[in-house]
Amino acid sequence: MNLTAETITAAPSATRPRQGLHVITWGCQMNVYDSARMSDVLRPLGYGPVDTPEDADMIILNTCHIRERATEKVFSELGKLRKIRDERVQGGKSRTVIAVAGCVAQAAGEEILSRAPYVDLVLGPQTYHRLPEMVARAARAGGTVIDTDFPAEQKFDYLPDQAAPQTNGNLTAFLTIQEGCDKFCSFCVVPYTRGAESSRPVASVIAEARRMVMSGVREITLLGQNVNAYHGLDENGRSTTLAELAIDLAKIPGLERIRYSTSHPRDVEQTLIDAHRDIPALMPFLHLPVQSGSDRVLKAMNRGHTADEYRDIIRRLREARPDLALSSDFIVGHPGESEQDFQDTMQLIRDVGFASAYSFKYSPRPGTPAAGQPLQVAEDVKDRRLAELQALLREQQDAFNESLVGTVQDVLITGLGRKPGQLAGRSPYLQPVHFDGPAELIGQIVKVSITIRRTNSLGGVLIRETALAC
Ligand code: 5AD
Ligand code: SF4
């Protein structure tokens, strides 16, 4: 299929003066997506990306509140940005608009107003479709404009199409399909910063995916705080599951790979497990956070499942898709976590076997139930447990990568490698893979014989289709 770019989106107005936009993104994949969409919203106003804050007429700091010291990090960054703005003004350039977006803006908007009154805009994750209006208000009135509502309207209905392919050119993309969370895990700020669970309608997701594919994207990661709680409405007003959505997306010609993140064990239904068996485009790599392997801690965390229920889900998933590999999130030192609880987590890790994982020390977040609990675990104990857990996870990651040496993997070639003549791509398991080959292959999925495991990547040899045909 010949995928052309012309049909995608209108180019930004050529008549408007071009203004430099610099977006600094912290935190999760959804923030990466949101930052791109904020750029889209501002494009019709003449804003285009610049690489450094010094060159920017507007700077957006897209923040994350998930773990400690997030707020202090924002104020320290804002201090630097203010200096940059002062220097620009002294040099006769325009006064930079400074905006704070994302979850810290949502959770600490008032504090930003009082401690950094020089900030122009403060906006939460649900209101960035209103950015143009906020920019205009700030220009008119001066002072800080703040919008941290949870508006009744869905921002997705008001966002313009993505950047035209010539400004983007990506082969992989994130696509938010669901947002917010009603699970209220004891430790987590997300339900307070991102709001209640909501899903985008099917047609809107499919249309966005089609646009992405038309612009050259081959791999889409569907995003949501609880992505497998997706329940978007179809054209008949019927609630649709993630599995059904994946079936529809897999029909888009040119969309070779589909992933989704982040899932919750409680929402892994049989239909989703079956989808892993039935949809080849659904990649055999799943991020399914478990947080702890102790039933006592899982209960205290309000996770709504036991360790054995998690093991059972994994067993069923592997039955459906034997080459499935897993990734997870772990927290050590949740209030009340005993040594035995921690050992139960280590046992679950040994039982399941993870290809990769993220692990954190519990950090109390203001306003969450766990933060106020007695029996907080001492810092040195958390340090020791985290080191032990990470050593085991590292061992498992190395073993998984090693197990691929001698196999042939499908690799999506995403660009040139660092060495001359080298290509870089990603395996089905999101590992970077490097091998020699011609640049014309960029964008294709090729077969690579894996010959070496490095610390965080694989090396291999391209298998030519012609060779395969012989
Ligand atoms: N402390 C430590 N880790 C946390 N996470 C979320 N909240 C906290 C917290 N208060 C971790 C969880 C989650 C991941 C995105 O961040 O493991 O899955
Ligand atoms: Fe946070 Fe739990 Fe919701 Fe995940 S499921 S976003 S950890 S509250």
Ligand nearest to the CA of 265: 2
Q: Is residue 14 part of a domain?
A: no
Domain range for 412 is: 405-466
Q: Is residue 4 part of a domain?
A: no
Instruction: Tell me the CA–centroid distance for residue 359 and ligand 1, in Å.
Output: 8
Instruction: Tell me the CA–centroid distance for residue 185 and ligand 2, in Å.
Output: 5
Q: Closest ligand 1 atom, CA of 28? A: 15
> What was the pLDDT predicted at 163?
60
Give the mutation target among 30, 65, 184, 287 for probing the ligand 2 site: most ligand atoms within 8 A of CB: 184
64 pocket-lining for ligand 1 (C-beta < 6 Å): no
Q: Is residue 3 part of a domain?
A: no
Same-domain status, 105 and 197: no
> What was the pLDDT predicted at 171?
95
- Residue ranges of alpha helices (H) inside 56-143 are 70-90, 103-115, 131-141
The conformation of residue 254, written as its DSSP 8-state character, comes to T
**Which residue's CA is the closest to the ligand 2 atom numbered 1?**
188
Same-domain status, 219 and 73: no
Give the mutation target among 29, 264, 368 for probing the ligand 2 site: most ligand atoms within 8 A of CB: 264
Same-domain status, 106 and 238: no
Q: Which amino acids bring their CB within 6 angstroms of ligand 2?
A: 181, 183-185, 188, 190-191, 225-226, 264
- Residue 28 belongs to a domain with what CATH number? 3.40.50.12160
Give the integer Cα–Cα distance in Å for 187 and 382.
15
Q: Is residue 195 part of a domain?
A: yes
Give the integer Cα–Cα distance in Å for 236 and 238.
5
Ligand nearest to the CA of 292: 1
Domain boundary residue among 112, 147, 182?
147
Same-domain status, 299 and 381: yes
Q: What is 332-356 written as a DSSP string?
A: E--TT--HHHHHHHHHHHHHH--SE
The answer to whether residue 425 scores a pLDDT higher than 90 is yes
Same-domain status, 250 and 381: yes
Q: 302-358 pLDDT, tens per residue?
A: 999 999 999 999 999 999 999 999 999 999 999 999 999 999 999 999 999 999 999
* Three-state SS at 21: strand
- Residue 411 belongs to a domain with what CATH number? 2.40.50.140
Instruction: Tell me the CA–centroid distance for residue 346 and ligand 2, in Å.
Output: 22
pTM: predicted TM-score of the whole model, two decimal places: 0.89
Residues in the chain: 470
Listed in sequence order, the residues at least 6 apart from 399 whose beta carbon sits closer than 8 Å to its beta carbon are: 353
Give the integer Cα–Cα distance in Å for 173 and 371.
35
Instruction: Tell me the CA–centroid distance for residue 362 and ligand 2, in Å.
Output: 14
Q: Is residue 171 part of a domain?
A: yes
> What was the pLDDT predicted at 15?
45
Q: How confident is the model at residue 258 (pLDDT cuts 50, 70, 90)?
A: very high
470 among annotated binding-site residues: no
Give the integer Cα–Cα distance in Å for 123 and 155.
13
27 pocket-lining for ligand 1 (C-beta < 6 Å): no
Q: 172-197 pLDDT, tens per residue?
A: 999 999 999 999 999 999 999 889 99
Q: What is the mean pLDDT of residues 89-117?
A: 93
Q: Is residue 418 part of a domain?
A: yes
> What was the pLDDT predicted at 169?
64
Q: What is the mean pLDDT of residues 42-63?
A: 95
Q: Is 288 left (phi over 0), alpha (psi -120 to 50) or beta?
A: beta
Same-domain status, 332 and 457: no
Structural domain count of the chain:
3
CA angle 349, 227, 426 (to 5 degrees): 65
Instruction: Tell me the CA–centroid distance for residue 247 and ligand 1, in Å.
Output: 31
The conformation of residue 368, written as its DSSP 8-state character, comes to S
Q: State in Å, rounded, how far the first CA of the chain is from the last one.
A: 26
Q: Give the rounded percent of residues in the chain with a pLDDT score beyond 90.
A: 83
Let me know: does 7 contact 153? Beta carbons within 8 Å.
Answer: no
Same-domain status, 194 and 262: yes
Q: 57-68 pLDDT, tens per residue?
A: 999 999 999 988
Q: Is residue 8 part of a domain?
A: no
Q: How confident is the model at residue 153 (pLDDT cuts 50, 70, 90)?
A: low
Same-domain status, 262 and 410: no
Q: 15-26 pLDDT, tens per residue?
A: 445 899 999 999
Instruction: Tell me the CA–centroid distance for residue 263 and ligand 2, in Å.
Output: 9
Q: 202-234 pLDDT, tens per residue?
A: 999 999 999 999 999 999 999 999 999 999 999
103 among annotated binding-site residues: yes
Q: What is the mean pLDDT of the chain?
A: 91
Domain boundary residue among 349, 384, 403?
403
Identify residue 146 by its one-letter amino acid code: I
In 10 A of CB 220, how many CB atoms?
25
> What was the pLDDT predicted at 162?
67
What is the Cα 88 distance to its own chain's centre?
Answer: 33
Same-domain status, 316 and 241: yes
Q: Closest ligand 1 atom, CA of 187? A: 10
The answer to whether residue 166 scores a pLDDT higher than 60 is no
Same-domain status, 125 and 165: no
Q: Is residue 9 part of a domain?
A: no
Identify residue 2 by its one-letter amino acid code: N
Q: How confident is the model at residue 7 (pLDDT cuts 50, 70, 90)?
A: very low
**Which residue's CA is the closest to the ligand 2 atom numbered 2?**
185
289 pocket-lining for ligand 1 (C-beta < 6 Å): yes
> What was the pLDDT predicted at 14?
44
Identify residue 206 by its one-letter amino acid code: I
Q: 240-257 pLDDT, tens per residue?
A: 999 999 999 999 999 999
Same-domain status, 379 and 430: no
Q: What is the mean pLDDT of residues 298-303?
A: 98
Q: 380-424 pLDDT, tens per residue?
A: 999 999 999 999 999 999 999 999 999 999 999 999 999 999 999
> What was the pLDDT predicted at 159?
77
In 10 A of CB 1, how many CB atoms?
6
Instruction: Tell me the CA–centroid distance for residue 78 and ligand 1, in Å.
Output: 25
331 pocket-lining for ligand 1 (C-beta < 6 Å): yes
- Residue 374 belongs to a domain with what CATH number? 3.80.30.20
Rounded to the nearest 5°, which phi and psi values hold at 366?
-55, 135
The β-bridge partners of 359 are 330
